[in-house]
């Protein structure tokens, strides 16, 4: 690995657990430990633990913080109560998506926004650029202040609760607490379609927190399983399913866009919503053998953005942008996979549902 790559506070734990380490967005990250399929199924059946300390954090504070975020974020920040969590996208003026984000309201005038690792520096610059036009607001890079662990699965909350000094916050809320003796921001969010929490803590406390959760039965899981899990439930990955060349309506994220707030790009998003997008992001399942991958062309227009073999469904699945007239569930598609046409069917999202 290049000496310029960053390491999370849990790097040594990953090596001890036999992880395969890869370069991901400039970080040395575990892609798998025992195997992607085993880790995936552990999250679906019991509990997995992910090191997501490569994610970025931006703290926005001061009496003007809410006004700034209302201008930047696509969702309605005024609806975000103290201790609440909110998903949104960050758009350019033309509606192109710069990133998708989670924002937590920590106080009346204090917010923490989690960015994708590959976009953190760009997002931070965007926040600071637009903060210059707002009074009473401070934008701070908080990436070095936090480590982040994701504990996900049917018994994830039970495992986390066992080392917590108080009750865990509910889904889509956050609260400060102590877990295994560490001060932790506990967030009822995740990226797997399972119950669980995301835990933000000081970097020096991350190893002991990791050890306590693993000792309780959390199965270490890498980025490979994180990717297959999110594809089964059709969660977006920036750089695959989201990009500056397409807007949130095309991506099926109109639900987190409140154009009446006047966020940057709202006029462009409203225009697409009103006229209808020329293409839509759909979920598909391969009808037969084969696995489609990002960049594979779809006959008649469009392309695959994400694809994998689903450990739970036992079939090739993925997402693709296709012409709007081909987006209805049940529509047949043909996908060019390395020169061989593979038949596929547009499916209702999510592809995987609990208990299915």
Residue 298 contacts residue 284 (beta carbons within 8 Å): no
Give the sign of the dihedral formed by CA 246, CA 249, CA 252, CA 258: positive
List beta partners, residue 21: 30
Contacts of residue 65, defined as CB under 8 A and 6 or more positions apart, other chains included, come to 109, 110, 111, 136, 137, 138
- CATH architecture of the domain with residue range 6-53+146-231: 2-Layer Sandwich (3.30)
For residue 2, pLDDT over 60 is answered with: no
On average, the pLDDT of the chain sits at 97
Question: What percent of the chain lies above the pLDDT cut of 90?
Answer: 98
Reported as a single tens digit per residue, the pLDDT across 179-193 is: 999 999 999 999 999
Both tokens of residue 140?
Answer: 């701070």
pLDDT value of position 224: 98
Instruction: Work out whether strand 85-91 and strand 97-107 pair parallel, antiparallel, or are unpaired.
Output: antiparallel
Reported as a single tens digit per residue, the pLDDT across 207-232 is: 999 999 999 999 999 999 999 999 99
pLDDT value of position 354: 85
Both tokens of residue 22?
Answer: 């890869």
Residue 36 contacts residue 50 (beta carbons within 8 Å): no
For residue 355, pLDDT over 80 is answered with: no
Q: What is the mean pLDDT of residues 55-72?
A: 98
Question: What percent of the chain lies above the pLDDT cut of 70?
Answer: 99
List beta partners, residue 279: 323
Reported as a single tens digit per residue, the pLDDT across 329-352 is: 999 999 999 999 999 999 999 999
Phi, psi dihedrals of residue 304, rounded to the nearest 5° = -75, 135
- CATH architecture of the domain with residue range 278-356: Beta Barrel (2.40)
Residue 336 contacts residue 346 (beta carbons within 8 Å): no
Residue 276 contacts residue 324 (beta carbons within 8 Å): yes
Residue 227 contacts residue 29 (beta carbons within 8 Å): no
Instruction: Work out whether strand 27-32 and strand 6-7 pair parallel, antiparallel, or are unpaired.
Output: parallel
- Quote the CA–CA distance of 99 and 89 in Å, as a whole number: 6
List beta partners, residue 164: 179
pLDDT value of position 133: 86
Domain 55-138+247-276 has CATH 3.30.70.1400: yes
Reported as a single tens digit per residue, the pLDDT across 98-110 is: 999 999 999 999 9
Residue 216 contacts residue 149 (beta carbons within 8 Å): no
pTM: 0.97
279-286, strands of its sheet edge to edge: 303-309, 316-323, 279-286, 340-347, 332-337
How is the chain split into domains, by residue range?
A: 6-53+146-231, 55-138+247-276, 278-356
Reported as a single tens digit per residue, the pLDDT across 9-27 is: 999 999 999 999 999 999 9
- Quote the CA–CA distance of 21 and 18 in Å, as a whole number: 9
What is the b/e burial string over 145-156, where b = at least 16 CB atoms within 10 angstroms of the residue's CB?
A: ebbbbbbbbebb
List beta partners, residue 139: 60
- Quote the CA–CA distance of 270 and 93 in Å, as a whole number: 12
Reported as a single tens digit per residue, the pLDDT across 236-282 is: 999 999 999 999 999 999 999 999 999 999 999 999 999 999 999 99
Q: What is the mean pLDDT of residues 85-90?
A: 98
Whether the bond into 350 is cis, omega within 30 of 0: yes
Q: Which of 277, 256, 273, 286 is nearest to 347 (CA)?
A: 286
């Amino acid at each position: 690995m290049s000496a310029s790559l960053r390491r999370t506070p849990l790097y040594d734990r990953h090596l001890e657990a036999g992880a395969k380490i890869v370069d991901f967005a400039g970080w040395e990250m575990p892609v798998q430990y025992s195997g992607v399929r085993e880790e995936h199924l552990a999250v679906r059946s019991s509990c997995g633990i992910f090191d997501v300390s490569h994610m970025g954090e931006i703290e926005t504070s001061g009496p003007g913080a809410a006004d700034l975020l209302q201008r930047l974020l696509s969702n309605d920040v005024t609806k975000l109560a103290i201790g609440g969590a909110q998903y949104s996208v960050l758009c350019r003026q033309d509606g192109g998506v710069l990133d998708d984000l989670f924002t937590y309201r920590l106080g009346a005038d204090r917010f923490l926004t989690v960015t994708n690792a590959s976009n953190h520096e760009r997002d931070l610059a965007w926040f600071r650029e637009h903060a210059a036009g707002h009074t009473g607001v401070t934008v701070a890079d908080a990436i070095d202040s936090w480590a982040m662990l994701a504990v996900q699965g049917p018994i994830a909350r039970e495992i986390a609760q066992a080392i917590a000094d108080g009750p865990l916050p509910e889904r889509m809320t956050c609260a400060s607490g102590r877990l295994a003796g560490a001060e932790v921001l506990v967030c009822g969010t995740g990226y797997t379609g399972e119950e669980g929490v995301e835990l933000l803590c000081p970097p020096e406390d991350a190893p002991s927190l990791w050890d306590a959760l693993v000792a309780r039965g959390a199965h270490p899981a890498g980025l490979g399983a994180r990717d297959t899990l999110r594809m089964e439930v059709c969660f977006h990955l920036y750089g695959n399913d989201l990009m500056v060349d397409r807007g949130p309506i095309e991506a099926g994220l109109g639900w987190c866009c409140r154009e009446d707030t006047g966020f940057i790009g709202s006029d462009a998003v409203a225009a697409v919503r009103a006229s209808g997008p020329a293409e839509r992001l759909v979920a598909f399942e391969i009808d037969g053998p084969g696995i489609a991958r990002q960049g594979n062309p779809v006959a008649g227009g469009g392309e695959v953005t994400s694809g994998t073999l689903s450990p739970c469904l036992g079939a090739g699945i993925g997402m693709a942008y296709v012409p709007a007239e081909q987006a209805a569930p049940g529509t047949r598609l043909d996908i060019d996979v390395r020169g061989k046409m593979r038949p596929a069917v547009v499916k209702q999202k999510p592809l995987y549902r609990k208990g299915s």
